[in-house]
Amino acid sequence: MLRRGFFTVLLVLMLSAAVAANPVTIQYWTGWGGAELEDIITYVIDPFMEDNPDIIVETSTIFGSYDALLTAIAAGTPPDVVSAVWETQVPGLAARGALMPLDEFAAASDLYDADDFFPANRRQSMYNGHLYGIPATTNTSFIVYNKDMFVEAGLDPENPPQTIDELMEAAEALTVRDANGNITRLGYDAAGAGLWGWGHVFGGSFFDEENNRFTIDHPKNIEALTWMVEYVDHFGGMAKVSEFVSGLGNYWSPQNPFFSGQVAMAGFGEWIVQFNERYGPVNYGVMARPAPEGGVYPWTSVGGSMFTIPQGSDYPEESWRFIEYITGPVGSERMARVLANMPPRRSVAERLLPDMPILEFGIGALESEDASSSGPLTAIDQFFLDQMGQYAERALYKQLSPADALTQAQQAVQFEYEMEGF
């Protein structure tokens, strides 16, 4: 018996050595690059390969060249795993058969736990009832403000604005103009924050799932855009505000307008901690977007990269093992620490909170059903976002009324949706 047991163990070791000697190489394409990608490889991907010697992950960044993915899929030469896919792109890619459904893999996995993901992150993973992508990290959105500038302007830095009237008052107090009336420091760029967010904050919606119809011209969306027009008019109109904004520094640099002192309040997410270490320090506070009476407060958008397997992957099973690790409890925690991002899993977020107090806002906001993705999660999200942005801009420049702008946007987007057969 001992001899038989010895040979059994020996056979297992020999088979394991054979597998490790002939590992499978999977191609992983990501949108991360630079120092962030180097850290992801060091602290996440390399440990995965150490634990899984039968898999080699060959990582490539397509940062700034995201169309390369669509070209590769169309040519029948896709990578095995892609995370350079925003949550708003998943429905369109899935609807066109470009992504592999992950349901069977997830059902057999010990690491994937749908109930551990925040509600908005679960919604982002699904299209037409099937699982197509899983986030390893996510982003919530809020406003950061310069506390020292608040004090300088006579505002209480421990009680930031909560209503849109208070936001207007604070932004005016924080805005600085030269002798000719030109803006040299802007309190807050409300127009730049976009109608998608303000529409939700005002209580609007953009898509009716029950009736499978866009609702861009929702009365609350029109109310939000009307307020945005009034807001920019208060600061000299869209042309004057745009002139100032066009001269702002690069976001991903020490010239970032919040860190260079050109704006006093700005939209950010959890990465503010990392940015402040690189480009600051600034004595900052965090607040939700102020809301009108009857609006949604606090509201957050929920975005991020989704890990997917393109149709045509040569190694779907090995690709899934990589995805379930990097989106699982260990991988997700490491990704959150490396990127200073919000984990999409409750258990990981709660575990990290003592070390990353910036997560406190996101943990509360993500439990709300009001938390929404960066688009309505339809197969034409990019077309919707482009059209809505263009028509909102026409209203901001007084070329159309807010109601006419959103009515026309509604007609254009709904027509496209129906023509595509969705």
Determine the 3-state secondary structure of 81 from DSSP: strand
The dihedral over CA atoms of 193, 196, 200, 203, expressed in degrees to the nearest 10, equals 110
| pLDDT for res 413 | 98
- Residues 105-142: pLDDT tens digits? 999 999 999 999 999 999 999 999 999 999 999 999 99
Is-contact 194 223, C-beta < 8 A? no
Distance, CA of 163 to CA of 170 (rounded, Å):
11
Calculate the average pLDDT of the chain.
Answer: 93
Write out the two tokens for 148. Answer: 């020292």
pLDDT bucket at 2, cuts 50 / 70 / 90: very low
pLDDT of 245 over the 50 cut: yes
Q: Which helix (H) or strand (E) holds 287?
A: strand 284-287
**Domains defined along the chain, listed by start:** 19-139+303-366 (3.40.190.10), 142-299+380-419 (3.40.190.10)
Distance CA 265, CA 248 (A): 14
DSSP state letters, 353-422 = TTT-TTHHHHHHHHTSTT-B-SS---TTHHHHHHHHHHHHHHHHTTSS-HHHHHHHHHHHHHHHHHHTT-
Which of 172, 141, 175, 174 is closest to 157 using CA atoms?
174
In 3D, which of 131, 81, 98, 86 has the Cα closest to residue 315? 81
* Amino acid 5: pLDDT: 54
pLDDT digits (tens, 9 = 90+) for 287-301: 999 999 999 999 999
Say if residues 307 and 29 touch (Cβ distance below 8 Å).
no
How far apart CA 275 and CA 340 sit, in angstroms, is 10
What is the spatial distance between Cα 204 and Cα 406, in angstroms, rounded to a whole number? Answer: 12
**Helix %, strand %, coil % for the chain, to 5?**
45, 15, 35
Q: Which two tokens stand for residue 414?
A: 């709904």
Asked whether the predicted pLDDT for residue 198 surpasses 70, the reply is yes
Cα-based angle 9, 12, 15 (whole degrees, multiple of 5) = 150
Tokens for 105?
């893999």
What average pLDDT does this structure show over 212-228? 98
